[in-house]
């Protein structure tokens, strides 16, 4: 080592090759912006590929539900968010949804069809209409492959297996990033006029998660260290139905198609929690209900309830939920055509993220963010299923549109600061590889995840959270001396895991501090010691920033539009 870092200069560097990153890249390339996509895995292995149930748009294609509108979609979204979403951002997303879905169809996404041949739509939780467009139960896979195909014909540079380690700032402006090329184990410099973070969520902060192993909140940590703010980090979604034990997702589409939840007594218990919406209440409501059934002894030993799809029949399951059937067969040895599935809640989605406006701008000039790593605030305290895929394509495109204008007006930055940052990260990598500490990364990671699940899970309470925060502080100290084990440079996954652990610890602290300071229950943030929503004190966004290396919490107003906050009843 010691040689000068390799330098890759572009107008725009997009960090992340999921749906957000690819949709943004397509837009930027088509406008002639020299664009790079940097991703720690091959883009088609991005977590978006696992999305199952569908993408929302008020197309009104379901027979009998033709009167669906973007306004109805916006209302459901705002109510689902427990009124914490910014209503101007929600209006943008819902208004642009039909065109975004039709655009995907025109690119080649093979959506499932109605009898009439239009895009089929299924009911999803918290939605007043069947609004979720789907490709069986492989919607993310289908869309991601289509966007990737489109990009094969565009002039974009892909850097795969590059782990972004730092954002570069020069005079307060973001002028690129540095990334560890994992195969040789070298840090490269990426000077750029703009950087768009599209790094996905931080699900792997929790011991029970439906997320891919790569979802470690790197983007949020990078942004925070570069001076950007994070927003509403305490709002973490737990999906009600993951396969018990493995926590692989069983899509909400399974209930949308008619699946029902039963406790050990064979009771359709959702009738007690959401008498009108039943199994299709929003996720926060259903996850709490399952957790309560289990806690009160009406679950099955091992902590789960049943999701019964048998009434759907083999034909419907094969046509609409083939992936779910295969998952159940492969990972539980159960055929849902004949038997109910054991399900339990698991962490699923990060509502909070890097604070941005509806053009993806963070507070740091030149730095943008979109998709699950960002918080434009369309999900508030609880996301509705099907709205995340929508967010990726709508706000991925919008961020790119803003960036195109911005980069066209600027000259390329001096690459010097990026080169210096790469050299600094190279020294850091060498130091990490040389550490002799006793602490091992896998054990620290396990403690962190279990702490988060125990202290900042579905039900939260002051003392448990204080204990959790103390453990996080201790874990940060231990991690500062942890050794990597493998000292080699090539494909050093243990090194990547240590870098991810550092990011998760920082992100975890923002979740913890936000949760402790929000003394109310709203959406996914349920405090047993403060069970009511408190609009007077907490109808506001939690903002987390870094000052002298410490997480500092402040608050920002919520944008209310036509929908006045009301009690949520389902
Ligand atoms: C199992 C499952 C099913 C889902 N189903 C649905 C659904 O049906 N409908 C719906 O609306 N939502 C669904 N969601 C949510 C939705 O899939 C995600 O929110 C969305 O796909 C996120 O897309 P993204 O582009 O923002 O991030 P991702 O797809 O997670 O992509 C992140 C990218 O960032 C890269 N990256 C991260 N860190 C770094 C780093 N340090 N350096 C370089 N690259 C980095 C990764 O390599 C990856 O390419 C589901 C989620 C799960 C877990």
* Residue 449 · residue 228 · CB < 8 Å: no
Binding site feature residues: 16-21, 39-54, 218, 239, 251, 348, 372, 383, 388-389
* Residue 140 · residue 19 · CB < 8 Å: yes
> Is any ligand 1 atom within 6 A of the Cβ of residue 50?
yes
ipTM above 0.95, yes or no: yes
Q: Residues 283, 288, 361, 533: which is the catalytic one?
A: 283
Atom 51, ligand 1: residue with shortest CA distance: 51
CA of 18 to the centre of ligand 1 (A): 6
Q: Which residues contact 171 (CB under 8 A, 6 or more apart)?
A: none
Provide the pLDDT for residue 1.
47
> Is any ligand 1 atom within 6 A of the Cβ of residue 198?
yes
Q: Which residues contact 357 (CB under 8 A, 6 or more apart)?
A: 376
Total Cβ atoms within 10 A of residue 223: 30
Cα end-to-end distance, the chain, whole Å: 61
> Is any ligand 1 atom within 6 A of the Cβ of residue 19?
yes
Catalytic residue flag (residue 283):
yes
> What is the DSSP secondary structure assignment for residue 522, as one 8-state letter?
B
Q: Are strands 173-181 and 186-197 parallel, antiparallel or unpaired?
A: antiparallel
Binding site feature residues for substrate: 239, 251, 348, 383
* Residue 201 · residue 352 · CB < 8 Å: no
> What is the DSSP secondary structure assignment for residue 137, as one 8-state letter?
T
Cα–chain center distance at 124? 18
* Residue 177 · residue 13 · CB < 8 Å: yes
Q: Which of 120, 372, 496 gets mutated to test ligand 1 (max ligand atoms within 8 A of its CB)?
A: 372
Indicate the angle between helix axes 19-30 and 139-152, nearest 10 degrees.
Answer: 30
User: Phi then psi for 87, rounded to 5 degrees?
Assistant: -70, -25
CA of 212 to the centre of ligand 1 (A): 8
CA torsion 38→193→399→153, rounded to 10°? -50
Q: Which of 93, 122, 140, 166 gets mutated to test ligand 1 (max ligand atoms within 8 A of its CB)?
A: 140
* Residue 177 · residue 15 · CB < 8 Å: yes
Partners of 10 in beta bridges: 192
CA of 392 to the centre of ligand 1 (A): 9
User: For ligand 1, what atom is nearest to the CA of residue 390?
Assistant: 11
Q: Which residues contact 142 (CB under 8 A, 6 or more apart)?
A: 109, 110, 111, 135
* Residue 199 · residue 219 · CB < 8 Å: yes
Provide the pLDDT for residue 2.
53
Q: Which of 179, 199, 397, 499 gets mutated to test ligand 1 (max ligand atoms within 8 A of its CB)?
A: 199
CA of 46 to the centre of ligand 1 (A): 6
Atom 6, ligand 1: residue with shortest CA distance: 51
* Residue 374 · residue 229 · CB < 8 Å: no
Provide the pLDDT for residue 103.
98
Partners of 307 in beta bridges: 261, 341
* Residue 211 · residue 193 · CB < 8 Å: no
For residue 356, CA distances in Å to 176, 266, 362, 374, 398 come to: 18, 46, 5, 7, 12
Q: Are strands 353-355 and 374-375 parallel, antiparallel or unpaired?
A: parallel
CA of 389 to the centre of ligand 1 (A): 9
Atom 46, ligand 1: residue with shortest CA distance: 16
Sign of the Cα torsion 165, 365, 202, 328 reads negative
> Is any ligand 1 atom within 6 A of the Cβ of residue 351?
no
* Residue 284 · residue 568 · CB < 8 Å: no
User: Which of 35, 138, 48, 39 has its CA nearest to residue 372?
Assistant: 48
User: For ligand 1, what atom is nearest to the CA of residue 22?
Assistant: 25
Per-residue pLDDT of the chain (570 residues; tens, 9 = 90+): 456 889 999 999 999 999 999 999 999 999 999 999 999 999 999 999 999 999 999 999 999 999 999 999 999 999 999 999 999 999 999 999 999 999 999 999 999 999 999 999 999 999 999 999 999 999 999 999 999 999 999 999 999 999 999 999 999 999 999 999 999 999 999 999 999 999 999 999 999 999 999 999 999 999 999 999 999 999 999 999 999 999 999 999 999 999 999 999 999 999 999 999 999 999 999 999 999 999 999 999 999 999 999 999 999 999 999 999 999 999 999 999 999 999 999 999 999 999 999 999 999 999 999 999 999 999 999 999 999 999 999 999 999 999 999 999 999 999 999 999 999 999 999 999 999 888 899 999 999 999 999 999 999 999 999 999 999 999 999 999 999 988 999 999 999 999 999 999 999 999 999 999 999 999 999 999 999 999 999 999 999 999 999 999 999 999 999 999 999 999
> Is any ligand 1 atom within 6 A of the Cβ of residue 146?
no
């Amino acid at each position: 080592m010691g040689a000068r870092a390799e330098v890759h200069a572009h107008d725009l560097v997009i960090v992340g090759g999921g749906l957000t990153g690819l949709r943004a890249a397509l837009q930027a390339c088509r406008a002639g912006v020299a664009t790079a996509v940097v991703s720690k895995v091959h883009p088609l292995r991005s977590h978006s590929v696992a999305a199952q149930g569908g993408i929302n748009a008020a197309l009104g294609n379901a027979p009998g539900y033709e009167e669906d509108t973007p306004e109805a979609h916006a209302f459901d979204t705002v109510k689902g968010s427990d009124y914490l979403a910014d209503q101007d951002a929600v209006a943008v997303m819902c208004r642009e949804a039909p065109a975004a879905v039709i655009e995907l169809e025109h690119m080649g996404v093979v959506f499932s069809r109605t009898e009439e041949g239009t895009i089929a739509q299924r009911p999803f939780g918290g939605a007043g209409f069947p609004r979720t467009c789907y490709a069986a139960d492989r919607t993310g896979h289908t869309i991601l492959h289509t966007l990737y195909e489109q990009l094969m014909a565009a002039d974009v540079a892909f850097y795969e297996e590059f782990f972004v380690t730092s954002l570069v700032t020069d005079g307060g402006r973001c002028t690129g990033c540095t990334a560890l090329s994992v195969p040789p184990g070298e840090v490269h410099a990426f000077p750029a006029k703009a950087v768009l973070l599209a790094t996905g969520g931080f699900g792997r902060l929790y011991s029970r998660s439906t997320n891919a192993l790569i979802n470690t909140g790197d983007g949020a940590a990078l942004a925070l260290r570069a001076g950007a703010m994070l927003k509403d980090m305490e709002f973490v979604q737990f999906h009600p139905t993951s396969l018990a034990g493995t926590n692989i997702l069983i899509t909400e589409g399974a209930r949308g198609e008619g699946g029902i939840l039963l406790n050990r007594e064979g009771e359709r218990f959702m009738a007690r929690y959401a008498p009108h919406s039943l199994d299709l209440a929003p996720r926060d409501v259903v996850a709490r209900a399952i957790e309560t059934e289990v806690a009160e002894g009406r679950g099955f030993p091992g902590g789960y309830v049943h999701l019964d799809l048998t009434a759907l029949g083999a034909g419907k399951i094969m046509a609409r939920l083939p992936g779910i059937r295969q998952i159940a067969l492969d990972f539980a040895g159960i055929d849902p055509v004949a038997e109910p599935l054991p399900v339990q809640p698991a962490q699923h989605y990060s509502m909070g993220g890097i604070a941005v406006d509806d053009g993806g701008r963070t507070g740091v000039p030149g730095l943008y963010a979109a998709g699950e790593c960002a918080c434009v605030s369309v999900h508030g305290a609880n996301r509705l299923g099907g709205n995340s895929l929508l967010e990726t394509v709508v706000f991925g495109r919008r961020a790119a549109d803003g960036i195109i204008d911005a980069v066209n007006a600027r000259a390329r930055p001096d690459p010097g600061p990026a080169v210096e940052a790469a050299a600094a990260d190279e020294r850091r990598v060498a130091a990490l590889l040389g550490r002799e500490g006793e602490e091992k990364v896998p054990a620290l990671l396990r403690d962190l995840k279990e702490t988060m699940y125990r202290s900042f899970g579905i039900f939260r309470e002051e003392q448990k959270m204080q204990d959790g925060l103390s453990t996080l502080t201790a874990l940060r100290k231990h991690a500062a001396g942890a050794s990597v084990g493998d000292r080699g440079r090539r494909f050093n996954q243990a090194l990547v895991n240590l870098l991810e652990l550092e990011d998760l610890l920082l992100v975890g602290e923002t979740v913890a501090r936000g949760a402790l300071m929000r003394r109310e229950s709203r959406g996914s943030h349920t405090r047993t010691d403060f069970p009511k929503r408190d609009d007077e004190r907490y109808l506001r966004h939690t903002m987390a920033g870094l000052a002298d290396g410490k997480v500092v919490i402040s608050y920002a107003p919520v944008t209310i539009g036509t929908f006045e906050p009301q009690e949520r009843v389902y």
